[in-house]
Amino acid sequence: MLNPQSGLYQFDPDVIILFIDKRTILGDLFYVPYKISELERRDWADEKFSELQSLLAKAKSCSRAQILVHNFDVPYYSPLGILENKQDFGFIESLRALNEKQKKACVGDGRLFLFDYDSFCSQIGKKNVTDDRMYYLADMRLDSRYMPDLCDAYLMYLKPFLSFIKKMYHPRS
Amino acid sequence: MSEPVTDPMSFVGYLNMAEKIEKNVRTKTISLKKSIKIAYLSSFNPKGLRRSWRSNAFNEGYLRTFTSAGTINTLKNC
């Protein structure tokens, strides 16, 4: 995405869908979220948001595509259990904050759209989102049973995008 | 129980992958009046390859062109 000469931009897509999941963005923190302090967690959220914005800015400058970016599904489990809600800026709060920042970044931007993956996961049940067997075998983060549902959810964006594309190429039609 | 796969012209590449892995996954075929080129970039491997087979999934993107006739172009490693 960062390379303007890459196949991504040569492909000249109408739509770019960017799906970065929470396990990837959290890295080791997904398994040991409390190995960093609250202050470091705030810095982490700011840093990840900046990285995401840099990626998206690059994609916007190098292509004419509409960009659909996933937010992060907020985990339903915390290693701190009931004490999670006693944290000023805990693990779960950090992902919520990241989602909120992403949402605000999309407001007023005509080419950047937020796909509410957290709501999508809530709709199907966060416990059911990942098939652990296929996650360990094939690194699949979403249970294949729900992929058609994900496609359905994408369609809600893609259909309006098609009309944007039509206006761009045929403004008088 | 979901319907068996009957139509290979799945929508997002996800479905093609799912078709190979689970024979009984249901698929959805949609019909769009115009073609649309979608670049699908994910932080994990949407092809469902074993971990040992894939290189750096974070850097892999799968580009597909979708039309009403299905997937007509695929690029990867962008």
| Rounded Cα gap, residues A63 and A14, in angstroms | 9
Q: Tokens representing A12?
A: 């000249």
**Domain that includes residue A125, residue range:** 7-169
User: Which long-range CB contacts under 8 A does A155-158 form with residues at least 24 apart?
Assistant: A155/B30, A157/A15, A157/A68, A157/A113, A157/A115, A158/A15, A158/B32, A158/B36, A158/B38
Is A105 within the bounds of a domain? yes
Tell me the CATH number at A76. 3.40.50.1110
Q: Is B51 on the interface with A (CB under 8 A)?
A: yes
**pLDDT at res. A43:** 92
Using a pLDDT cut of 70, give the percent of chain A over it: 92
pLDDT in tens, B10-57: 344 444 444 444 444 444 445 555 667 778 777 765 444 444 333 333
Is A1 within the bounds of a domain? no
Query: Between these two residues, B59 and A148, which has the higher pLDDT value?
Result: A148
CA-closest candidate to residue B17, choices A61, A150, A105, A156: A150
Residue A50: count of CB within 10 angstroms of its CB: 11
Is A131 within the bounds of a domain? yes
Instruction: With a cut of 50, say whether residue A109 has pLDDT above it.
Output: yes
Reported as a pLDDT band with limits 50, 70 and 90, residue A170 is low
Q: Is B44 on the interface with A (CB under 8 A)?
A: yes
Is A60 within the bounds of a domain? yes
Is A40 within the bounds of a domain? yes
**pLDDT at res. A72:** 92
User: Nearest chain A Cα to B74, which residue?
Assistant: A11
| Rounded Cα gap, residues A76 and A92, in angstroms | 8
Contact A74, A118 (CB under 8 A): yes
Total of domains in chain A: 1
Instruction: With a cut of 60, say whether residue A82 has pLDDT above it.
Output: yes
Using a pLDDT cut of 90, give the percent of chain A over it: 34
Pairing of strands B61-67, B36-42: antiparallel
Domain boundaries, chain B: 13-76
Q: Tokens representing A60?
A: 């916007």
pTM assigned to the model: 0.74
Residues of A with Cβ-Cβ distance to B44 under 8 angstroms: 21, 23-24, 139-141
Is A2 within the bounds of a domain? no
Reported as a pLDDT band with limits 50, 70 and 90, residue B65 is very low
Instruction: With a cut of 50, say whether residue A107 has pLDDT above it.
Output: yes
Residue A77 DSSP label? -
CA dihedral sign, ordered A28, A33, A39, A44: positive
